Structure 1
């Protein structure tokens, strides 16, 4: 059992960031703030409409729907092309089901109102006819009801034309529909999310909610958190609350009920809530993403997510599911290096299982936002080898405590943040943009932060505030969201990530909290 005074993830961390050769920053000029279609998308209805323009990205190619040659005339072919942020790649899904290109004032149109396979798609004067009506499915399909066929890319290379074809659920028919916001915060779902906070070392404690030293979560706590943060991540460890093992791996109903109580408190405060599988993975726990362990890991993972999805299906779109925390080999093998080829295949399989299981439960889970995770939640090699499942409303979870020499108390024990090391967390954000947000896949940094250390007879909380607001601000320009780690430990020294004093229900570090709220907007 882990020490009750340390978060299991935090005290095992090593300064792998300092050993990494960092990639050069991705050019920012070509990056538009992107994210997947809104959680309000409902398959087959006009409620799938977004009210602001954004890109439509092919999930097979990673390229954007584009007006050929930036043309604006009737009959201009619609194709896919490298995403470049130009007006030729801006689209607005409207309430009547039409897709408008604001730059030309024309709509995506099936040529001559055709219904046959292979009929090409063009720009044409918006006229409200059936040839210009589209529905957005939870699987990412854009369907033309008049023909019963789907928008289809005839290839994945630049200039591949778009056509309609029998709906097959294939990657070349799966699209990420984005709508930008005035603040650059992503589409109408993600633009609602601002500052995020972790209820760490409570439901994720492996021996019970209070056994790592935190009091039981109360509604006054949640109410106070909601005054500064509108996204709360509730890490959850399930293995100690199962009443049966294989093959059902049944979760204790009383544990579900207690978790739901806290989830509902947060949602009643208009917060967005993220629940996950946390310390069931890592160390010598059962969720081991390696080829040799999958015969045990996969059935338990599937059984657990099926129960979670069914139990919470009645919750609206303010509840998000996150597949795993920092999945890793037994004893944490190569977690901070991003894993090996023995891990990447199993991780991708588990993430796909997660999406399949949740979507199969139907109801609100058909369009609920799902968050997938690379090996170790690693923002470099782990992220490089993550395959994001196809379909709408899927985001990526990553972690950064970079540089660990500032975020922890380990040598050289940096105490101040003067900007000279900005390039280290920026490297993580840039890589996430290159891989995901530039392709329309939202990123949420579900953990980041730094412990508060002794400094000049007091503490360095002001320096921590600068560090954390830099990450928040830098990530924000790409539409990436940040969720600060809070383990409830509010002293000074090792593993003191606490911002909220959960006993007195007062902010222990109001300077950090206020700075994060301002930076997130």
Structure 2
């Protein structure tokens, strides 16, 4: 009897406590939703407001959790992360548990930027990030790409000087770099002095590599292409011998430059179109598909050749061209981006609009129109901005990087003020839309003096170099 009475009294004492416990809703309020640490590691505080016991554990040994301070309602835990020795971003989770409660908090730790250098391929560098690094670009125009059957073939340097350029020196390249340019396109006509079996002349190969090294030594990204060879390149999709030549040329280029890292890009050709098949003014939709298809084939063949050459070429960032390098063709449904196992491709387009100002000099008769003296009306500026915004919307925003490999205007019988206005305006429109502008510059009529190693117009250079600061970019 006494035992039963004692049991009943004990039960009565316990009932209110159980009732209070069951009646109070568990509350766990975590103040942080995620943690991010730099490569060096460090520590941070996780704070939890709770009316019940809480445990916190980490899923990874490099991320440790220890008690920091606590009160009746507030608990703090110290999150300590070790230095990240790898070249990969790493992740952990903090598991917060209580009675009937569990939540995961992500922890991310950065890695140090991959080392950048002449012979290094950064495995985590996306093509868009490389485009961002390229900043403002410029062409070494009318130099290694100069052609003509009147040129004295006794020396490869005769070709280099044929269109008005002095022999390129390290100081000339240094001048471009010191001015602020971060990338250089080096157009090359590889057929100059080429042997009958399509072997590139060793002097030309050596010369291209010498200039490339100067470009890379000054920290610029370089592009090497096949230029002014349209007559035979156009035949590649339909002519076995032309295909053999194209394959030989790109196999030789790939082999010679294989050791260079991701600061060197390759570009397959220049302004290839098939006007005899289709133009916007003449030709059926079927003809358009055929013409675009040929350019698509050329791009795929180029990618396949470079990738199969192995070494650094297996991961090299490559340019592929759209039909006639027309800007709106970059997002034409008939333009097919090649299959690429490395997924490291960018599209390249050119911008020479309006043609009566950009291509023809003032008063110059091109047979299809006469050059106009000026540019810069509200309508013309809108045309420019609409074109670049369309490239951003249809390509860049969809993960397709774009390089505007050429743009400029004729300075013939025009003031420097209007030339400057056009060139700076186009540069800004390209850059602010996430693409790389590569100004077409040539000896004599261009903006850079290859004899003094300086730009002729200080205002031109100042306005150009102010553009990147206005539109900061994320770079590796």
TM-score (norm 2): 0.65
Superposition map of 1:417-436 within 5 A: 417-436=376-395
2:436 matches 1:488: no
Q: Distance in 2 between matches of 1:344 and 1:416?
A: 32
Q: Distance in 2 between matches of 1:177 and 1:106?
A: 23
Correspondent of 2:132 among 191, 199, 213 = 191
User: What SS does structure 2 have at the residue aligned with 1:275?
Assistant: strand
Question: Structure 1 pair 126/356, CA: closer, same or farther in 2 (3 Å)?
Answer: farther
Q: Deviations over 1:232-267 (max 9, x none)?
A: 11111111231233xxx2111121001100000111
User: What SS does structure 2 have at the residue aligned with 1:344?
Assistant: helix
Question: Does structure 2 conserve the Cα–Cα contact (< 8 Å) formed by 1:276 and 1:324?
Answer: yes
Superposition map of 1:504-519 within 5 A: 504-519=452-467
Partner of 1:371: 319
Q: Distance in 1 between matches of 2:371 and 2:453?
A: 34
Q: Distance in 2 between matches of 1:279 and 1:441?
A: 26
Q: Distance in 2 between matches of 1:376 and 1:218?
A: 32
Superposition map of 1:86-235 within 5 A: 97=88, 126=106, 187-207=128-148, 208-228=159-179, 229-235=181-187
Q: How many residues align?
A: 343
Correspondent of 1:475 among 430, 454, 460 = 430
Q: Distance in 2 between matches of 1:460 and 1:290?
A: 42
Q: Which runs of 5 or more structure 1 residues have no equivalent in the other structure?
A: 1-49, 52-93, 108-122, 129-175, 180-185, 491-497
2:361 matches 1:396: no
Question: Does structure 2 conserve the Cα–Cα contact (< 8 Å) formed by 1:290 and 1:343?
Answer: no
Question: Structure 1 pair 332/238, CA: closer, same or farther in 2 (3 Å)?
Answer: farther
Q: Distance in 1 between matches of 2:280 and 2:451?
A: 33
Give 1:336 shift.
Answer: 9.3
Structure of higher RCO (CA pairs closer than 8 Å, 6+ residues apart):
1
Q: Distance in 2 between matches of 1:98 and 1:226?
A: 33
Q: Deviations over 1:117-172 (max 9, x none)?
A: xxxxxx975489xxxxxxxxxxxxxxxxxxxxxxxxxxxxxxxxxxxxxxxxxxxx
227-236 or 401-410: bigger deviation = 401-410
298-307 or 366-375: bigger deviation = 298-307
User: What SS does structure 1 have at the residue aligned with 2:185?
Assistant: strand
Give 1:203 shift.
Answer: 0.5
Question: Structure 1 pair 383/307, CA: closer, same or farther in 2 (3 Å)?
Answer: farther
Q: Distance in 1 between matches of 2:192 and 2:439?
A: 26
Q: Which runs of 5 or more structure 2 residues have no equivalent in the other structure?
A: 1-37, 40-84, 95-102, 109-122, 149-158, 365-369, 470-476
Q: Distance in 2 between matches of 1:286 and 1:253?
A: 21
Q: Which has the higher helix share?
A: 2
User: What SS does structure 2 have at the residue aligned with 1:364?
Assistant: helix
2:195 matches 1:243: yes
Question: Structure 1 pair 380/363, CA: closer, same or farther in 2 (3 Å)?
Answer: same
Partner of 2:265: 320
Give 1:271 shift.
Answer: 0.9
Correspondent of 1:441 among 382, 400, 422 = 400
Q: Deviations over 1:58-104 (max 9, x none)?
A: xxxxxxxxxxxxxxxxxxxxxxxxxxxxxxxxxxxx9675687xxxx
Q: Distance in 1 between matches of 2:375 and 2:292?
A: 36
User: What SS does structure 2 have at the residue aligned with 1:446?
Assistant: strand
User: What SS does structure 2 have at the residue aligned with 1:263?
Assistant: helix
Partner of 1:311: 256
Give 1:480 shift.
Answer: 0.6
TM-score (norm 1): 0.59
Question: Does structure 2 conserve the Cα–Cα contact (< 8 Å) formed by 1:406 and 1:415?
Answer: yes
Q: Distance in 1 between matches of 2:447 and 2:251?
A: 34
User: What SS does structure 2 have at the residue aligned with 1:348?
Assistant: helix
Give 1:177 shift.
Answer: 8.7
Q: Deviations over 1:299-341 (max 9, x none)?
A: 2212211110110011121111111111133889749989822
2:236 matches 1:287: no
Correspondent of 1:256 among 205, 212, 217 = 205
- For the pair shown, which has the larger CA radius of gyration, 1 or 2? 2
Q: Deviations over 1:3-51 (max 9, x none)?
A: xxxxxxxxxxxxxxxxxxxxxxxxxxxxxxxxxxxxxxxxxxxxxxx99
User: What SS does structure 1 have at the residue aligned with 2:466?
Assistant: helix
2:444 matches 1:465: no
Q: Deviations over 1:390-436 (max 9, x none)?
A: 34221011000111222232435142424431122233323322432
Question: Does structure 2 conserve the Cα–Cα contact (< 8 Å) formed by 1:289 and 1:347?
Answer: no
Q: Distance in 2 between matches of 1:441 and 1:382?
A: 10
Question: Structure 1 pair 190/416, CA: closer, same or farther in 2 (3 Å)?
Answer: closer
Q: Distance in 2 between matches of 1:97 and 1:270?
A: 25
Partner of 2:243: 298
Partner of 1:275: 224
User: What SS does structure 2 have at the residue aligned with 1:340?
Assistant: helix
Partner of 2:298: 350
Question: Does structure 1 conserve the Cα–Cα contact (< 8 Å) formed by 2:145 and 2:160?
Answer: yes
Give 1:178 shift.
Answer: 8.5
Question: Does structure 2 conserve the Cα–Cα contact (< 8 Å) formed by 1:233 and 1:446?
Answer: yes
User: What SS does structure 2 have at the residue aligned with 1:320?
Assistant: strand
Question: Does structure 2 conserve the Cα–Cα contact (< 8 Å) formed by 1:400 and 1:448?
Answer: yes
